[in-house]
């Protein structure tokens, strides 16, 4: 394991502005949350679509997304799951001490991103992104059915546990609870008392509250024009 340089300058990228439905949801909030949990300082570089589409940024993040993490003397990292796992391993925090639990926490990190998030995201496709409202109306029941299935399975596994793995909050809880935000505009999580209580235990953490407040404060200081959009931008981020 590489030694941690507590004085290494760390920068993460984030968007200058997003429509209201996405505020508090853009994935850099996961990295901000993690950094605050482990106590690492960082700077934020706010970017816009021009930067996202540039060859320089695409060399760092091939898909033009946020966030990336830049740290002196280390490779530039992208993909929040990979970044968070790297930070957890290097800091020695948010991973259980028990070897078996540590391995299981990593399983749940990937489960959040691969098995749960894609199905929950389909709700947003139906509710926000599909332009044809008749298609959206027809598709939504299927999207809800699949999301309900996954959340029911998650609730069943969680049972009466306080946390997904071991006896304390871990990287698994951070990522999975963040994923549930995808359906925050529905009552799908609230349909499971244990799941809603677990999510609330995660979101009451000071590091989470600080991360969301920080991200949203930056959005409040910017607007559609900072993203190269017109003032008549709708809730999807499209110019009317």
> Chain centroid to CA 61: how far?
16
Give whole-number Cα distances, 6 to 2, 31, 42, 200, in Å: 12, 17, 11, 31
Q: In what order do the strands lie in the sheet with 10-15?
A: 43-47, 10-15, 68-71, 77-78
pLDDT (0 to 100) of residue 9:
84
Residue 165 per-residue DSSP state: S
pLDDT (0 to 100) of residue 32:
98
pLDDT tens-digit map of 117-129? 999 999 999 999 9
Decide if 33 contacts 45 (C-beta within 8 A): no
Mean of all residue pLDDT scores within the chain:
93
pLDDT tens-digit map of 122-177? 999 999 999 999 999 999 999 999 999 999 999 999 999 999 999 999 999 999 99
Residue 99 above 50 pLDDT? yes
Residue 1 above 80 pLDDT? no
Cis amide bond preceding 99, omega within 30: no
Query: Which of 97, 103, 81, 84 lies closest to 38, judged by CA?
Result: 84
Q: Which domains does the chain have, with CATH numbers?
A: 10-93+207-227 (3.40.30.10), 99-204 (1.20.1050.10)
pLDDT (0 to 100) of residue 232:
54
Beta pairing partners, 69:
12, 77
Residue 24 above 70 pLDDT? yes
């Amino acid at each position: 394991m590489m030694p941690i340089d507590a004085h290494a300058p760390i920068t993460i990228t984030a968007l200058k502005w997003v429509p209201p439905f996405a505020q508090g949801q853009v994935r850099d909030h996961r990295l901000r949350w993690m950094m605050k949990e482990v106590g690492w300082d960082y700077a934020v570089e706010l970017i816009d679509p021009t930067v996202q589409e540039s060859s320089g940024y695409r060399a760092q993040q091939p898909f033009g997304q946020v966030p990336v993490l830049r740290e002196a003397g280390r490779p530039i990292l992208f993909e929040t799951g990979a970044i968070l796992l790297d930070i957890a391993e290097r800091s020695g925090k948010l991973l259980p001490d028990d070897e078996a639990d540590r391995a299981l926490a990593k399983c749940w990190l990937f489960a959040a991103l691969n098995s749960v998030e894609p199905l929950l995201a389909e709700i947003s496709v139906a509710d926000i992104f599909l332009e044809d409202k008749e298609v959206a109306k027809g598709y939504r029941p299927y999207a809800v059915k699949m999301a309900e299935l996954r959340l029911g399975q998650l609730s069943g596994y969680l049972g009466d546990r306080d946390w997904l793995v071991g006896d304390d909050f871990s990287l698994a809880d951070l990522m999975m609870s963040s994923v549930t935000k995808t359906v925050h505009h529905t009552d799908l999580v609230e349909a499971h008392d244990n799941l809603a209580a677990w999510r609330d235990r995660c979101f009451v953490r000071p590091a989470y509250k600080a991360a969301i407040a920080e991200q949203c404060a930056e959005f409040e200081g910017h607007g559609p024009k900072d993203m190269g959009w017109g003032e008549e931008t709708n809730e999807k981020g499209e110019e009317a």
